[in-house]
Structure 1
Amino acid sequence: MRLQSPWAVPLIALALASRLAAAAFVTTNQAEMSQIYGQPVFATTPIDVRFQPVVTIVAPGLLNITTLAELNALFGLSPVNAPGINMFFVDSVSVCNTPTPAPGIQGCATINGNDIVVESVAAADPLPLAGPVGSLSAGAALNAHELAHNLGLPHIPECAPSVPPNLMDCLLTGYELTAAQAATVLANSSVLQSDPSGLFVSITPILILPIPAPPALLLFGSALMLGWLSRRRAAH
C-alpha cells in the first residue's frame, strides 16, 4: 500500500507507542521486599528477594484478568518451575479465589505454589506504610503479600483489621509479620532456596503486552517525524 501523507508512518509509530503505553509495566520493589523479609522476626534467617530479568509475553486477552479461566490461562504461561517464582504484571485483576469479579483485588497468588499476578499500577503505588523497618511503599507490600502466599501464608481470618497492621491482612495497611508467620514461612515453603549467603527467593517478572514492541519501527517513525518537523520549520 502506498502512503500518500508524510504523517502516515509517524502516525503508525505513535499509535503503536500509545498502545504500548497503555499496557502493563514492571515494578519489582526488590530492595523493599528484602527489607520486609528481613524484619526482626526473621532473626538470623532473613530471606533475600532476587528478581531475574524481565520476560515479556504477548497476550492481549490476558491484560485484564476477569475470570478464573483467564487466571488459569495466565498461570499456564508460567515459564519458570518451582522453586523459581513467576510474577505476572497486568493491567487489572478482579478475580482470585472467587468465581466472579470482586472489588478491591489488586493481586492473586497460589498458596504454597509459585505463581503470582499483580496489577502494574498497584505494584508501583508509592504510598508509604509504616512498619518495623521503617516506611516502605504500598507497592512493595503488595508484592510481598502475594509472595507470602507462595511462602505458605494465608490471609488473616476474615481479613479482619490487624493491630499492628499485618502483611497478611487483605486490607494491606502495613507489612509486619508475626514470629509464628515467619516460622511458617521458614518451615513450610517449597520456593525457598539457599546459597552461601543465606536464604533467598528467585522471582521472574513477566510483563504481559498487547502487541510486540517494534523498536525499529518506532525509531524509524520518530526519525521521519523529526525530519518532517525540520522541513516544516525551514519552510517557515
Structure 2
Amino acid sequence: MNQIKSLLRGVAALLAGSLAASGAMAGFITTNEAKMDSIFSQAGFGANTIDIRFNAPLSYVRPTLVGIDSLAEWNQMTALAVPNAKTVSMFFTDSISWCGGTGSNIIGCADTPGNVLALDSDWAANPSFGGVLAAHELAHNLNLGHLSSTNNLMNPTIGSNNSFLSSAQISTLLQSPLIQFDGTRRYISITPIALIATAVPEPGSWLMMGLGLGALGVAARRGRCTAADPTVTR
C-alpha cells in the first residue's frame, strides 16, 4: 500500500512538473486569418486582393529568445526563419524591447522590406486588434513604412480600427516579391513560429501519463477497499 502511495506521489510530481513546464512557454501562436484577409481584400485592392495562407506552425525551444531585447537576439531569431525567400516567418514571443533600437511598449517588429516579423504573443491574441497587429507588421515586410494617420493600418499606434490602406500604399505593397500567384489569385505564404522556453510533452506522453495515473489510482482504491473491509481476508 505504501509502495502504491509512493508511486502515486511520484507520478503526481511528474505530472505537476510537466504542467509547470508547459506554463513556462513564452511564445504561443494565435492567427487571425479572417481579419488579415479582410484587410488585404478591402475595396481599394479592386481585383488584386491578397489571400493570407498560413502553413503548419513550428516551435523552437530557445530560452534566450523568449524576449527580443537586442540586435543580436533579433539576428539569432532571424537565423531560425524558414529558408524560403517567398515565405514570411511570423515569430511569436513573450516580449519585444528592441526594434531597430531599445524601447518600451513594443508589441511587434518587422524587417522593412523583408520576410521576418515578430509579435508579442499576448497582444497577437487580443481579439480586438491582434489581426490588425499581424497585418501591420506584415505590411512592413511588404515595404510599407509608418504613416501617422487616423485609422490607417500603418499608424505607429495600433488600434482595432487601424485597417485602412490608401491607393498609394496598396500600389507599393503589390510590388512585393512576397506576393505569389497560383493561377487564380494572389496570396502570401506565412509560417507561424513559436519561441518557447522549454519543451512541452507530446499529446501521446500526456495520454500515457494520464493512463498510468488512472491505473495507479484504481490500484490504490482497491488496496484501500481491501484493507478497510473486514469481511475480506488478507
TM-score (norm 1): 0.84
RMSD: 2.1
Contact 1:91 1:119 (C-alpha < 8 Å) held by counterparts? yes
| Equivalent-residue separation in structure 1 for 2:166 and 2:49 (angstroms) | 14
Q: Confirm whether residue 9 of structure 1 aligns to residue 2 of structure 2.
A: no
Q: Which amino acid aligns with 1:92?
A: S
The alpha-carbon deviation at position 4 of structure 1 amounts to 4.7
Q: 2 CA distance for matches of 1:88 and 1:18?
A: 23
Q: How does 1:174-213 map to 2 (within 5 A)?
A: 174-187=162-175, 189-213=176-200
Displacement of 1:167? 0.7
- The aligned residue for residue 125 of structure 1 is 126
Q: Distance in 1 between matches of 2:186 and 2:18?
A: 42
Matches of 1:167 and 1:18 in 2, distance apart?
38
In structure 1, the gaps of 5 or more residues are 128-137
Separation (CA, whole Å) in 2 of partners of 1:139 and 1:233: 48
Q: Give matches, 1:31-42, under 5 Å.
A: 31-42=34-45
1:191 maps to a residue whose letter is L
Shift in Å, 1:93: 1.2
Residue of structure 2 equivalent to 1:86: 89
The answer to whether the Cα contact below 8 Å between 2:96 and 2:120 also exists between their aligned partners in 1 is yes
In the alignment, the residues of structure 2 paired with residue 10 and residue 217 of structure 1 have an alpha-carbon distance, to the nearest angstrom, of 14
**Alpha-carbon shift at residue 104 of structure 1 (Å):** 1.1
**2:135 corresponds to:** 144
Q: Residues of 1 paired with 2:73 and 2:126: CA distance?
A: 25
Q: Residue 117 of structure 2 aligns with which residue?
A: 116
For the 8 Å contact 1:85–1:202, the answer to whether it is kept is yes
Unaligned stretches of 5+ residues in structure 2: 226-234
Deviation digits for residues 3-62 of structure 1, max 9, x if unmatched?
A: 955222332233223222331211111121111100111111001100000112121211
Query: Which of the pair has more CA radius of gyration?
Result: 2
Distance 1:66 1:226 in 2: 44
Deviating more after overlay: 104-113 vs 21-30 = 21-30
Please tell me the residue identity of whatever aligns with 2:126. D
| CA–CA separation in structure 2 for the residues paired with 1:195 and 1:78 | 23
Q: What CA distance in whole angstroms lies between the structure 1 residues aligned with 2:106 and 2:89? A: 19
Instruction: State the Cα deviation string for residues 120-174 of structure 1 (Å, max 9, x = none).
Output: 11111012xxxxxxxxxx0000110010001110111xxx4x23x1110111121
